[in-house]
């Protein structure tokens, strides 16, 4: 998969000129949405089919700061998937420098909040995700 690339905007920085830590979580979401589109299952399609994917857990390790104008490449991969919980990993880099490593865990629900049996209801999606494990 092609990494998601973005430029740090001025409004995302604090008075020290450093990107505020909360922005990294927004960037993870942008990268995850791009990843799903590249996979062939954009979020809009899943939602149109009645499946939502809320975040269950989040882990972020900040390695180095980034500043206004930096170009950040975010590689997204699948750490694990058991049909209920999907764990996604992120590596944010500026050139060769690792800025942040993170993981997010997601479940799949219908609009009422009930868990969706993904292997039964979306087998092609599950197959695509399982091909990405470890990549």
| 14 part of the active site | yes
Report CA-CA distances (Å) from 68 to 18, 31, 93, 132: 7, 19, 14, 32
CA–CA distance, 41 with 56 (Å, rounded to integer): 20
> Interhelix angle for 21-39 vs 123-132, to 10°?
120
Question: Which one of the listed residues 14, 96, 97, 110 is annotated catalytic?
Answer: 14
Which residues carry out catalysis? 14
């Amino acid at each position: 998969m092609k990494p998601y690339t973005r430029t740090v905007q001025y409004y995302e920085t604090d008075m020290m000129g450093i990107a505020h830590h909360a922005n990294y979580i927004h960037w993870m979401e942008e990268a995850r949405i791009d990843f799903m589109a590249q996979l062939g299952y954009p979020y809009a399609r899943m939602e149109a089919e009645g499946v939502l994917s809320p975040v269950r857990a989040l882990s972020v390790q900040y390695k180095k700061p980034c500043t206004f104008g930096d170009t950040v490449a975010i590689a997204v991969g699948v750490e694990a998937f058991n049909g209920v919980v999907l764990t996604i990993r992120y590596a944010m880099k500026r050139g060769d420098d690792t800025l942040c490593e993170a993981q997010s865990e997601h479940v799949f629900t219908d609009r009422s909040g009930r868990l969706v049996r993904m292997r039964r209801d979306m087998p092609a999606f599950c197959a695509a995700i399982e091909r990405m494990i470890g990549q």
